[in-house]
């Protein structure tokens, strides 16, 4: 029997946020979020969405999580308002070697409020405790200082530059590679 999205992406709560499974009725938010040039500016995998149908195509596989075993993605909802404000998750999950990469996005009205570190703390806890990860990686554009501050705040270590990592808008872009190990995470939790 196929896994229910609510089981694959269990609900996680923080002081101000709820991380929950993305549903097809979230299509308008996803289209607005991933179609916005400000939000998608530093996303290396995706060009900004141009149609609502593209957002539907992105959400559809999340409704059948068994078809994407190396990918887990949540919506980030503001508890006080009950509305989505971003997304986050893990991809390239390698169960044999116990590592995955994380990604995240947040609507600009909510930048600078400490919400992404709060969401990622819940995501990392899930990754290390439930997914049995030993290493979590994240990459961010060399110019995306906000994202780099988020990762550093969570204890990630900068490993180096991935030169000409992705091609977008006619140019090759560099990425900064960060990582966090389970032992470092446990130490970070104690501080």
If one compares 41 and 148, the residue with the highest pLDDT of the two is: 148
Distance, in Å, from the CA atom of 73 to the CA atom of 22, rounded to the nearest integer, reads 8
List, for residues 58-104, the tens digit of each pLDDT value.
899 888 888 888 899 999 999 999 999 999 999 999 999 999 999 99
Structure confidence at residue 41 (pLDDT): 76
**For 73, phi and psi rounded to 5 degrees?**
-140, 135
Residue 2 predicted with pLDDT over 80: no
Mean pLDDT, residues 107-126 taken together: 97
What's the pLDDT score for residue 117? 98
Judge contact between 122 and 12, C-beta under 8 A: yes
Higher pLDDT, 64 or 28: 28
- Per-residue pLDDT band for 13 (boundaries 50, 70, 90) equals very high
- Residue 65 burial (10 A CB sphere; 0-12, 13-18, 19+): buried
Cα(177)–Cα(190) distance, integer angstroms: 25
In the chain, the domains with their CATH numbers are 5-190 (3.40.630.30)
Q: What is the pLDDT of residue 1?
A: 53
Per DSSP, the three-state class of 114 is coil
Write out the H or E segment, with its range, that includes residue 138. Answer: strand 135-141
40: pLDDT strictly greater than 90: no
Element housing 23 (H / E):
none
pTM to 2 decimal places:
0.93
46 falls in which pLDDT band (50, 70, 90)?
low
CA angle 10, 15, 16 (to 5 degrees): 85
Beta bridge partners of 90: 72, 102
Q: What average pLDDT does the chain have?
A: 92
List of residues 6+ apart from 159 with CB closer than 8 A: 177, 178, 179
Tens-digit pLDDT profile for residues 132-179: 999 999 999 999 999 999 999 999 999 999 999 988 888 899 999 999
Range 16-40 average pLDDT: 93
Asked if 56 contacts 28 with a C-beta cutoff of 8 angstroms, the reply is no
- Which pLDDT does position 51 carry in this prediction? 93
Name the residue among 18, 32, 88 with its Cα closest to residue 40.
Answer: 32
Cβ-Cβ contacts under 8 Å for 142 (sequence gap 6 or more): 161, 173, 174, 175, 176
| Integer CA distances (angstroms), 154 to 16, 35, 80, 126, 151, in order | 17, 28, 24, 14, 5
Q: Output the pLDDT for position 48.
A: 84
């Amino acid at each position: 029997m196929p896994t229910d999205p609510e089981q694959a992406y269990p609900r996680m709560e923080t002081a101000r946020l709820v991380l929950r499974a993305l549903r097809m009725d979230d299509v308008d938010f996803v289209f607005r979020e991933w179609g916005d040039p400000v939000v998608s500016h530093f996303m290396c995998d995706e060009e900004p969405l141009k149609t609502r149908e593209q957002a539907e195509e992105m959400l559809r596989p999340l409704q059948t999580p068994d078809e994407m075993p190396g990918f887990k993605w949540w919506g980030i909802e503001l508890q006080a308002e009950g509305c989505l404000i971003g997304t986050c998750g893990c991809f390239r999950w390698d169960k044999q070697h116990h590592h995955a990469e994380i990604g995240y996005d947040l609507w600009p009205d909510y930048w600078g409020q400490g919400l992404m570190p709060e969401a990622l703390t819940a995501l990392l806890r899930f990754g290390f405790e439930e997914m049995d990860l030993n290493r979590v990686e994240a990459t961010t554009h060399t110019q995306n200082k906000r994202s780099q501050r988020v990762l550093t705040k969570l204890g990630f270590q900068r490993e180096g530059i991935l030169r000409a990592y992705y091609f977008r808008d006619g140019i090759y872009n560099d990425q900064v590679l960060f990582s966090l190990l389970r032992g470092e995470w446990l130490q970070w939790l104690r501080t």
